[in-house]
Amino acid sequence: MYKEMDKKYVLNTYPRNYVNFKQGSNATLFDDKGRDYIDFTAGIGVTSVGHGNARLANAIAEQASNLIHTSNLYLIEPQAKLAKKIAELYGEDVGTFFANSGAEANEGAIKLARKYGEKNFENKRYKVITLAHSFHGRTITTVKATGQKSFHKPDFSPYPDGFSYEQNIKDIYGSVNDETVAVMIELVQGEGGVQPFDKKDVQKLAAFLKEKDVLFIVDEVQTGVYRSGEFLATNLYGIKPDIITLAKGLAGGVPIGAVLTTHKDLFEVGDHGSTFGGNFLSTRAGLEVLNILESYKNSGELDESFIYFDSKLKEFALAYPKMFDEVVGLGLMRGLRCFDCVDLSKLIDSAFKEGVLVLKAGRNTLRFLPPLTITKNEINEGFKRLKNAFNKVN
């Protein structure tokens, strides 16, 4: 019934699998037939503290019973608390603008950079350099910022001017000119194949951009909120960007986006805004998620999960030497790079039939983004099911 309803009334923009999930418990989902699935996707990196997390659910319910929304024309207490918490966990004096998604956060970052280019130079700087295989969102502007031609469909043109792409970090140096206002990168390219950049290369780039007075924007929509093992991958890389964007795991499934910047006085009243961004519900959820994950990190449990998942992933890859070329990624943002002869769609379909959810990234990478709170038992069961699935297609 619901499949037909979906097909009739919902716009056809997703390649849906018509399973009907009804309940979740940490990294385990249950469908309407009572069948369970190990979730190695976390809603594409969103359900950071797992499904059905009691602390998050109670915080959301308590907030919803009092206030959900009043607008940004008035003080929003959990918004102020969340902004303070973000600055404390990052360890830098940043101000935060709250939006509703990663794409909106990246739009805000680009607007902030463009204003910097207007205010600080005699001849306006407005161009933004990104990298090939990057992904920064699906709005008209963030699609154009995305360094993948497959996203630049003529159906939606013309696109905004002012974006260019380089293959690698080392190519950026020769492209910066007196019209360049910012360079925007992901420290680990998610959609581009779970590809981390070298720490020294990133640090060298950060120093170069600072010297040239070019803003450094780091898109942490996927890597942020402990996905890398630290609060921000920025912390892990030892850099201090001018602007950082967050979304996905920040509120555990409640829509949210955030723009962090050290240029706290650049935006003025009226420069940017959002009706829903940073409302009571989303920021209360975000605050609870950060409190949960901070404790999880400080207890050592987060690092234990990372180490255990890594060991099981490598063990799994070694069992299929003709299928997998290498293990990639960091933290709980991981991938298995497949040989070109491997049909990833068949593997993912077979995995689903065995009751484990996995993702595709780039052209040939099997991607893993489990909840950060995943247990050893769930990890074991997930890889057990993956072996059953792959044995049937191998």
Contact 239, 203 (CB under 8 A): yes
Two structure tokens written together for 217: 């924007």
pLDDT of 163 reads 97
- How is residue 157 annotated by DSSP? P
Average pLDDT, the chain: 96
Three-state DSSP at 336 gives strand
Q: In the chain, what is the greatest distance between 2 CA atoms, to the nearest angstrom?
A: 65
Domains within the chain, CATH numbers bracketed: 60-298 (3.40.640.10)
pLDDT of 393 reads 81
Question: Which whole number is the average pLDDT over 251-269?
Answer: 97
Let me know how many helices (H) and strands (E) the chain has, helices first.
13, 17
Is residue 394 pLDDT above 80, yes or no?
Answer: no
Give 185-242 pLDDT, tens digit per residue. Answer: 999 998 888 999 999 999 999 999 999 999 999 999 999 999 999 999 999 999 999 9
Contact 86, 291 (CB under 8 A): no
Is residue 277 pLDDT above 90, yes or no?
Answer: yes
pLDDT of 33 reads 95
Question: Which whole number is the average pLDDT over 88-116?
Answer: 98
Is residue 363 pLDDT above 90, yes or no?
Answer: no
Alpha carbon 267 to chain centroid, angstroms = 24
Three-state DSSP at 83 gives helix
Taking the C-alpha atoms of residue 85 and residue 87, their distance in angstroms, rounded to an integer, is 5
- Quote the radius of gyration of the chain (alpha carbons, Å): 21
Tokens 């499934």 sit at which residue? 253
Taking the C-alpha atoms of residue 38 and residue 31, their distance in angstroms, rounded to an integer, is 12
pLDDT of 389 reads 94
Strands 180-185 and 127-131: parallel
pLDDT of 177 reads 97
pLDDT of 220 reads 98
